Amino acid sequence: MATRPSTTSHMHRRTQEQLLLEYLRRLENRREGRKAVRINLSNLMPINRREHHIRAATNSFETLVSELMGQLFELKNQDIFFVYKSTAHARVEDTVQKIKFLFSDDPLFDGKGRSDEDFVNWYDVETGYDELFNMVRDMGDEGRTAKRAASRSNVREALKARQEHGDPLTPEILSRAVKALLRTDLTSLVRRQFVCRVNKKLVPEPLFSELFISITDLRETMMPGINITSNRWLFQYLTESLDKRVLSLLSKTDRTSFTGDISFNVNVSTLMSPEFMAFDEGISAARRGSMVLELQKVDIFADLGAFLFAREFCQEKGYRICLDGMTYQNLLMIDRERLGVDYVKLMWNHELIDGGERMKDDLHDMVKDAGATKVIMARCDNREAVDFGRSTGIGMFQGHYVEHLIAEDERRRQLLKLKHRIERG
């Protein structure tokens, strides 16, 4: 359960200059075929530099990053630095052009002919390595002095940054956390997000809701200052303990808040534990039929034999099984039909669109093979995700955007009610 590590931008902002410097240092002996670009968002008007602007700009590099064509650094002053393979140069130029377009109404582009250099600087890592390296090193120094100054004036911000980045999770802390978990009531940390059928008119119809523990809040409550997800294996161990706490939450039948069909994350080992047997014994057959168990691929393939056994056991009892955390690449490799799961969750990622027609056609075929009632597109943050999903035949969606659609739908209903009342009155 609860594998939703926070990815706030604060997490890295503190050390981005240093990371960039380290990265360049590593490139020293293999600088061939690398280029870099700096986008000076700091030269834009402050009104154009709000968080969502910066996010829009950095998001446009997402595909290049996910294809490992380059590394993105968000500097303290909000500038973006992208070091990339020369083979991607044309695409990087396109991306920069798009970003420029985003801010075309900024006075920086008022046509006085100086805008380009103020906004974008291009570097050839291969030939201009030393110059670039020195510039970045100096930048790091500036960053440090700036931070020192800032920390005086804004202790709260600095504390917050440290909390969100945190010290790495160690086995000792894990051990304490696991023990503390037994005494902690997690009810207030439970979040829910709906999986909905979404039609052409973008009207959502909830099918079930996923219950999960907010990892950010869990950390705040139990291990402030610790980066829980810093080691994936220790984190995975922690999720086994969380599983059991969630089972005990769910088995308290008087808890009316968990109504309707629900899903939650579990490890295979949890399904085979005495705790799950007790949970299963405590709920009615009908309730089992309303539950979807979400499993991660790493967990399934860690012991496939155990998974197949547990799946058979659970499905026979009426639970449905969902394979969580799939990417396009995973779908190509993993035979979900043989795995015998009821649902597959495909994580929305902009690269699905950037993959072009071929990826889209592949996906369309896979959805068709699996059946439209099997594939859920999760992490839908915007309309684009839902539109794309629908175009490949996917009918079920989850994510912030879907939550937004639910809220909109609710408001529309309220307005309609009000209108009827007014008409009648």
Partner 1 sequence: MADTASEYSGGSNTAKSPEKRLLDMLARMRNNTAGSYAVHLHLSQLRASHRQPHFMRMVARSLDSLASQQDVQVLNFTNSDVALLCRNTPIDDVDDAVFRVRALFNEDPLTLTDDGSAEDHFSAWYDLSQSTDFKDFEDAVSAIAQTTEQVKNQQADAVSSGRASKALGGAPLSPDMVAGITQKLLEARIGDLVHRQPAVLVGGQNKTQQLAFREHYIAMSELRARIAPKVDLFSGHWLFQYISETIDARVLEVLSRLDYADMDCPLSVNLNVSTIMARPFQNFHAIVGEHTDKVIVEIQIIDIFADMDGFAYARDWLKEHGYRVLIDGLNPLTLNFFNPTPLEADFIKIGWGPEVQGGVDHDQTQQIANIVAKMPPGSVVLARVDSEEGVSWGLGLGIICFQGHFIDKVVEKMTQKGLIT
Candidate segments 16-24, 39-47, 196-204, 299-307, binder of partner 1 by CB under 8 A: 299-307
* CB nearer partner 1, residue 230 or residue 290: 230
Residue ranges in 338-357 that form contacts with partner 1 under rule CB under 8 A: 338-339
What is the smallest separation between the CB atom of 83 and partner 1, expressed in angstroms?
A: 14
User: Quick one: tokens of 41?
Assistant: 């968002």
Q: How many residues bind partner 1 (CB under 8 A)?
A: 46
3 state DSSP class of 259: coil
Biggest alpha carbon distance in the chain?
Answer: 79
Residue 77 or residue 273: which is nearer to partner 1 going by CB? 273
What are the residues whose beta carbons fall under 8 Å from the beta carbon of 222, sequence distance 6 or more?
Answer: 177, 180, 181, 184
- Is 216 or 236 the residue whose CB approaches partner 1 more closely? 236
- CA nearest 36: which of 67, 76, 80, 98? 80
Query: Which position among 185, 335, 357, 423 is part of the footprint of partner 1 (CB under 8 A)?
Result: 335
163 vs 269, beta carbon nearer partner 1: 269
Near partner 1 by CB under 8 A: residue from 48, 184, 330, 382 = 330
Q: Are 378 and 398 in contact (CB under 8 A)?
A: yes
Q: Within positions 50 to 79, which residues make up the interface with partner 1, using CB under 8 A?
A: 66, 68
Q: Which tokens go with 104?
A: 């075309």
Residues numbered 159 to 218 that lie near partner 1 (CB under 8 A) are: 170-172, 174-175, 178
| Residues ≥6 apart with Cβ < 8 Å to 249 | 186, 187, 190, 255, 258
Rule CB under 8 A: which of 23-52 touch partner 1? 30
Contact range with partner 1 by CB under 8 A, out of 4-12, 221-229, 312-320, 385-393: 312-320
Residue from 215, 161, 177 nearest 6 by CA: 215
Handedness of CA 102, 108, 109, 110 (dihedral sign): positive
Query: Please, which residues bridge with residue 197 across strands?
Result: 205, 396
Of the residues 35, 53, 165, 297, which one makes contact with partner 1 according to CB under 8 A: 297
Q: Which of 149, 155, 304, 372 binds partner 1 (CB under 8 A)?
A: 304
Q: How far is CA 260 from CA 118, 206, 296, 373, in A?
A: 56, 10, 23, 19
> Given the rule CB under 8 A, which residues bind partner 1?
30, 66, 68, 170-172, 174-175, 178, 231-234, 236-237, 240, 269, 272-274, 277, 280-281, 297-298, 301-306, 308-310, 312-313, 316, 327, 329-330, 332-335, 338-339
